[in-house]
């Protein structure tokens, strides 16, 4: 448990102040406000005074359901060389708090308000109270809407999750979709979770699409993390070609490493055997690295005792070891994607004029999705009719894969492929949140750990 310390009374940036500073050309104010944005939102931030003398491009990268110690520059054994390099050339923060859940963190990030002020005090269900309507309020501005008045174009790629996930029945149901909230370009998912091989509520602009029938996706081997990366790269390239006289706001919201644990087999292979020592051994190794890096003060922090009921390897170890291997593969895939985005900014001559912020929406997730009961083995061949290419996936968990395999859950079902839907569970979430207690959902440090 860490020693008590006061939380900031207000940790959300006022995007209107940033807009005003940019409009007036006051660089000192821009740097001050950007610094506040970094301190209060980002685990990693890089900032260079724009060589052009104009306002900076801003890239906000958000990952999903990851713990304080997961990435390499925060003590993790997961290989994240791109984020590590950004951190080495920028700033790492240890006093940032998010809101412990996906939706309210995104509402705060997008508006600069406390989540209740933005209308999403919990999730995207409507509880009939002003702070809990499950929709962004229309008397607040998003960062895209605010910065548009300072000449910015805005693009978003990835998870939205600040409006009702139901398929829209009319244009009114899309009032809080990205294009209606200031973004000029959007590709991603409206709801909060789904398959990485067949995402639920996938949309391009205002139109729901199927990944199997999207002519704009480069390639046939679909994986959502790579698709988000490809869209972000395309947005930078389009901006450089057609809007080079304007600054860019790019919001990249990866769903890694939210359940289900989905990754390509080649990425999983690179992580095999990395977690053979067991839960607490991995956690203690992380803690020791964090102490050496100065991220944790061992004189002021006690590593939370390992929960006895979890054991050192659990009752179904090979299966649970696999879930963490897949989790690591998901994060490493995201890191490579961030590398592609940074490289594209560099190729376009934009990197030296760009502020890059990386943050996480909450701590590691202990939800038990897909971990109950005993799972079925994979069938020798497809047992269901294949889905047509234009089939729209709107449910969080698909019943089957595109090629006709039933989607399986339960102990013994090895995570990773498209026909599985499994979370990594409480033990690995405890490891992710080293050295803190509890997980996403809770109000302990593990839910919204300091960055």
Instruction: For 368-396, write each residue's pLDDT tens digit.
Output: 999 999 999 999 999 999 999 999 998 88
The per-residue pLDDT for range 403-428, each reduced to its tens digit, is: 999 999 999 999 999 999 999 999 99
The per-residue pLDDT for range 70-118, each reduced to its tens digit, is: 999 999 999 999 999 999 999 998 877 788 788 899 999 999 999 999 9
Q: What is the mean pLDDT of residues 306-314?
A: 87
Of residues 207 and 102, the one with the higher pLDDT is 207
302 pLDDT higher than 80: yes
CA atoms within 13 A of residue 327's CA, in its CB half-sphere: 31
HEC readout, 22-57 = HHHCCHHHHHHHHHHHHHHHCCEEECCCCCCCCCCE
Q: Residue 60: what are its φ and ψ, rounded to 5°?
A: -110, 120
Tokens of 302: 């006690």
CB 109 within 8 Å of CB 140: no
**42 confidence band (pLDDT: 50, 70, 90):** very low
Provide the mean pLDDT of the chain. 87
3-state percent helix, strand, coil for the chain, nearest multiple of 5: 35, 10, 55
For residue 207, list its beta bridge partners. Answer: 204
238 pLDDT higher than 60: yes
41 pLDDT higher than 80: no
pTM above 0.75, yes or no: yes
List, in order of start, the domains of the chain with CATH numbers.
Answer: 15-432 (3.40.720.10)
Of residues 139 and 2, the one with the higher pLDDT is 139
Strands 44-46 and 57-63: unpaired
Q: What is residue 37's predicted lDDT score, i.e. its pLDDT?
A: 35
Q: Is 315 exposed, middle or buried (0-12, 13-18, 19+ CB in 10 A)?
A: exposed
Asked which of 149-153, 227-231, 257-261, 313-317 is least confident by mean pLDDT, the reply is 313-317
Q: What is the mean pLDDT of residues 363-371?
A: 92
Distance CA(164)–CA(126), nearest Å, equals 9
Classify residue 361 by its DSSP letter: S
For residue 157, list its beta bridge partners. Answer: 187, 252
Q: What is residue 43's predicted lDDT score, i.e. its pLDDT?
A: 57
Q: What is the mean pLDDT of residues 148-177?
A: 92
**What whole-number percentage of the chain has pLDDT above 90?**
68
**171 confidence band (pLDDT: 50, 70, 90):** confident
């Amino acid at each position: 448990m860490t020693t008590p310390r006061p939380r900031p009374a207000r940790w959300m940036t006022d995007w209107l102040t940033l807009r005003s500073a940019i409009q007036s050309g006051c660089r000192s104010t821009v740097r001050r406000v950007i610094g506040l944005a970094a301190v209060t939102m980002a685990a990693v931030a890089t900032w260079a005074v724009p060589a052009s003398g104009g306002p900076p491009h801003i890239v906000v990268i958000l990952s999903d359901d990851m713990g304080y110690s997961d990435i390499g520059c925060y003590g993790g054994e997961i290989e994240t060389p791109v984020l590590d390099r950004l951190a080495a050339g920028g700033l790492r923060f240890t006093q940032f708090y998010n809101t412990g859940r996906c939706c309210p963190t995104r509402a705060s990030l997008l508006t600069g308000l406390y989540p209740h002020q933005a209308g999403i005090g919990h999730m995207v269900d409507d509880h009939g109270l002003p702070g809990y309507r499950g929709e962004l309020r229309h008397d607040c501005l998003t960062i895209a809407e605010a910065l548009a008045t300072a000449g910015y174009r805005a693009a978003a790629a990835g998870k939205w999750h600040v409006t009702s996930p139901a398929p829209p029945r009319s244009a009114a149901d899309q009032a809080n979709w990205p294009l209606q909230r200031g973004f000029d370009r959007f590709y991603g998912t409206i709801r909060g979770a789904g398959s990485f091989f067949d995402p639920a509520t996938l949309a391009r602009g205002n139109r729901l699409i199927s990944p199997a029938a999207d002519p704009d996706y480069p390639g046939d081997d679909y994986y959502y993390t790579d698709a988000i990366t490809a869209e972000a790269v395309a947005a930078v390239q389009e901006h450089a070609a057609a809007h080079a006289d304007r600054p860019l706001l790019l919001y990249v919201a990866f769903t890694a490493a939210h359940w289900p644990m989905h990754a390509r087999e080649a990425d999983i292979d690179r992580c095999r055997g990395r977690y053979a020592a067991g839960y607490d051994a991995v956690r203690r190794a992380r803690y020791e690295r964090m102490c050496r890096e100065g991220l944790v003060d061992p004189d002021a922090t006690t590593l939370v005792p390992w929960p006895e009921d979890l054991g050192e390897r659990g009752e179904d170890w090979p299966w649970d070891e696999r879930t963490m291997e897949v989790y690591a593969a998901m994060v490493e895939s995201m890191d490579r994607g961030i590398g592609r985005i940074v490289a594209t900014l560099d190729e376009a001559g934009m990197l030296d004029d760009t502020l890059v912020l990386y943050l996480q929406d909450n701590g590691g997730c202990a939800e038990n999705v897909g971990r109950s009961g005993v799972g079925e083995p994979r069938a020798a061949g497809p047992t269901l009719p294949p889905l047509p290419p234009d089939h729209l996936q709107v449910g969080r968990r698909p019943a089957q894969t595109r090629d006709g395999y039933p989607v399986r859950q339960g102990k013994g079902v090895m995570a990773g492929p498209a026909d599985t839907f499994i979370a990594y569970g409480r033990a690995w979430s405890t490891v992710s949140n080293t050295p803190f207690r509890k997980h996403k959902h809770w109000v302990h440090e593990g839910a919204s750990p300091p960055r």
